[in-house]
Structure 1
Amino acid sequence: MTSPVALRQLFLGGARSGKSGLAEQAAMDSGLEVVYVATAEVNHSDEQGSMIHRVSMHKQRRPSHWRLVEEPLALSKTLFELDQTPCCVLVDCLTLWLSNHLCGPSRDLDATLDQLIMQVSNTRHHLILVSNEVGSGIVPMGELSRQFQDYSGLMNQRLAQICDEVTLAVAGLPLNLKNKPTH
Structure 2
Amino acid sequence: MNPDVSAPAPPTVSRASRDDGYADAAKRADIQAYLAGTENAWAEGFSEWAAETSLTEAEYRAVAATGLFDEFDFYWDETADRVAYTAPELPSDPETTRRLSALDAGESAPAIEEELDELGATVAGVLTAYFVGWEADSDVVDTFGGQYNARDDDRTDAQDE
For the criterion TM > 0.5, the same-fold answer is no
More helix by share: 2
State the structure with more CA Rg: 2
TM value normalised by structure 1:
0.26
